[in-house]
Amino acid sequence: MDFSNRLKNLPTQFFASLVQKVTTAVAEGRDVINLGQGNPDQPTPEHIVKALQEAAANPGSHRYSPFRGTNDLKQAAADFYKREYNVDIDPHTEVAVMFGTKIGLVELPLAMMNEQELMLLPDPGYPDYLSGAGLANVRFDTMPLLEENEYLPDYRKLTNEQKQAAKLMYLNYPNNPTGATATKEFFEETVLLAKESDIAIVHDFAYGAVGFDGVKPISFLQVDGAKEVGVEMYTLSKTYNMAGWRVGFAVGNAKMIEAINIIQDHLFVSLFPAVQSAAAAALNESQQCVDELVSLYERRRNALVNACAKIDWDVKAPKGSFFAWLPVANGYTSEEFADLLLDKADVAVAAGNGFGAVGEGYIRVGLLVDEHRLEEAIDRIAKLELF
């Protein structure tokens, strides 16, 4: 027996290697401060758990879910976008329910593209974007996200050939891994490019709730014309600490939503109805838990940035997400630096090159341990006298 060519063409799972290194270090009895993960460390709010418990006890939840998700969750998603972003969403034609947004990000190239057509991806970017390209057997070109351009792609650098050939473009703000945020003007440029070049846009809004310094991240769909050219993916994993629940949704362009729904009709029956009920409760009920979570991440961000400043580590404070993007010490590659921190300081970080070639020279740090552990991690690194 052998694997299919499709499976052989998939990229190596970047995070699997990182997890193995950390697991080995912990098994040796070392006190590792793991800043390399992207797994929220806080529990799901109690009112959401209670909603799940009540729905799970209802025999009506024990049957197959409707293929395309419950009306309650789709209506909740539409109401959420109207309340939070003043965007009108038709719950019947402009919402797709998903087992977490990773599913949508990976399956959209299969649903929207033919083999060897071109998609445009950010570099650095979420590694699983490459999985969708590999499964669909499509080509991809990358758009560099550079500090001097606030980690936004410069569309002037796209060639005419790229603009004419591209069928799909992925964006992600607040950004993983850089922590950058987008502007309305940038999204307006994106809509203009999409219309001129007939490119479908996918905005991965995974960290949409997490903006700092009193600035709420903008939704792509808030820009005029955005629904004509694209969709936005929203996961409950980060906003409500529901990473293990695997629930998210896409909203926006009706044709792209229908493409997601059709492919999912053939791959899944929709997720457990009780999880959908709990997700609807998360979206509909008090958002105080979200405000508290964002404040927690901002305190952690500030603790990290202040600790780095004390050792002359030149770190720019992220504007959103729960990640910070830090330059490596002189003389090291990203992977060498990450290995050094784990081996000599018992601090785990994610090497920037794992997010793309342009990520070389950086590491990603997650704000997913408390302030004291973040400060301790920087204290340990200070003893290496690298800065």
pLDDT average, residue stretch 238-259: 98
Q: Which domains does the chain have, with CATH numbers?
A: 5-44+288-382 (3.90.1150.10), 63-284 (3.40.640.10)
Q: In the structure, what pLDDT confidence band is assigned to residue 319 with cuts at 50, 70 and 90?
A: very high
pLDDT at 17: 79
Sign of the CA dihedral running 380, 320, 132, 42 = positive
Q: Strands 200-204 and 230-235, how do they pair?
A: parallel
pLDDT at 365: 97
Q: Write down the mean pLDDT value for the chain.
A: 96
pLDDT at 11: 84
Lowest mean pLDDT among 12-16, 25-29, 268-272: 12-16
Residues 9-18: pLDDT tens digits? 888 777 777 8
pLDDT at 16: 79
Residue 354 has pLDDT above 90, yes or no: yes
The distance of Cα 286 from the centroid of its chain, to the nearest Å, equals: 24
List, in order, residues 6 or more apart from 149 with CB less than 8 Å away: none
- Residues of the chain with pLDDT > 90, as a percent, come to 94
The 3-state DSSP class for residue 202 equals strand
Model pTM? Answer: 0.96
pLDDT at 15: 77
pLDDT at 262: 97
**Three-class secondary structure assignment of 341-365:** HHHHHCEECEEHHHHCHHHCCEEEE
Q: Report the distance separating Cα 199 and Cα 7, nearest Å.
A: 27
Residues 150-188: pLDDT tens digits? 999 999 999 999 999 999 999 999 999 999 999 999 999
Residue 212 has pLDDT above 80, yes or no: yes
Q: Which residue has the higher pLDDT, 387 or 221?
A: 221
pLDDT at 13: 74
pLDDT average, residue stretch 54-71: 95
Residue 40 has pLDDT above 80, yes or no: yes
Task: Output phi, psi for 294, to 5 deg.
Answer: -65, -40
pLDDT average, residue stretch 121-145: 96
